Amino acid sequence: MMNGFLFGPGYYTSWIMFVLPAVIVSIWAQSLIKSRFAKYSQVASGTDYNGCDVARTILDRNGLTNVRIERVAGQLSDHYDPRTKVLRLSSAVYDGNDIAAFGVAAHEVGHAIQDAEGYVPLKLRNSIVPVVNIGNKFVWILIFIGFAFSGAGSLVSEAFIQIAIALFLAVVFFQVITLPVEIDASKRALVQLENGILSYEKVDGAKKVLQAAAMTYIAAILVSIGELLRILSYVNRRRD
């Protein structure tokens, strides 16, 4: 019964209709950021800094001496953790003396500055992370349970389905609110890089890297909206 519900023809048809186009955009966006990062990682910064030095400089000039910097495994796995006040940089960024590394390092510091200032969209995004995690993991299970209880009473069935939809709406909202958070962090990063770290011409290269990164967040919004439309379509089809 589980396979028939989750993996029947309607399941795949709705995925192809609503999700596949967004996935294609997402693949293109990921390819773009990787190619931009590779291109501008070949352009030297013209300074004696590496990415860690840049991050430390920007943190300190903004009074964030309490934020630690750590090396993290992976490629483009850089992130700021607001819970522990730790900035984690991949090896290519941590050690990099190129404008791609500088751009990514400064962007992540942008999130630390947002956190310190109580930037509302960041606080809002962080506050719904637990709900988003539940929505991503359990939405289809809840929908299945809802239809499994259809014989036991429509109110019980509908409650599970509505909870699933509400949880995934939180996922969509998370992706939507992430975009302005990331764009703002990039704007802050470029201002900091222009302040005595990179020349104007080289800041432009860092800007192109960050613009490519923004496309990945736009793609994530499209994927989440496509998935929501797929869920609504599939639920309506089962109801009929």
The catalytic residue positions are 108
Dihedral through CA 228, CA 121, CA 87, CA 187, nearest 10?
Answer: 100
User: Please, which residues have CB within 8 angstroms of residue 108's CB and are 6 or more apart in sequence?
Assistant: 55, 78, 79, 80, 87, 88, 89, 185
Cα 62 from Cα 110, distance rounded (Å): 10
Give phi and psi for 88, each to the nearest 5. -110, 125
Q: Give which of 176, 179, 168, 175 is closest to 230, Cα–Cα.
A: 168
Query: Left if phi > 0, otherwise alpha if psi is -120 to 50, otherwise beta: which for 66?
Result: alpha
Can you tell me the distance from the alpha carbon of 148 to that of 122, in angstroms, rounded to the nearest whole number? 38
CB contact set of 123 (below 8 Å; sequence gap of 6+): none
Q: How far apart are CA 11 and CA 147, in angstroms?
A: 14
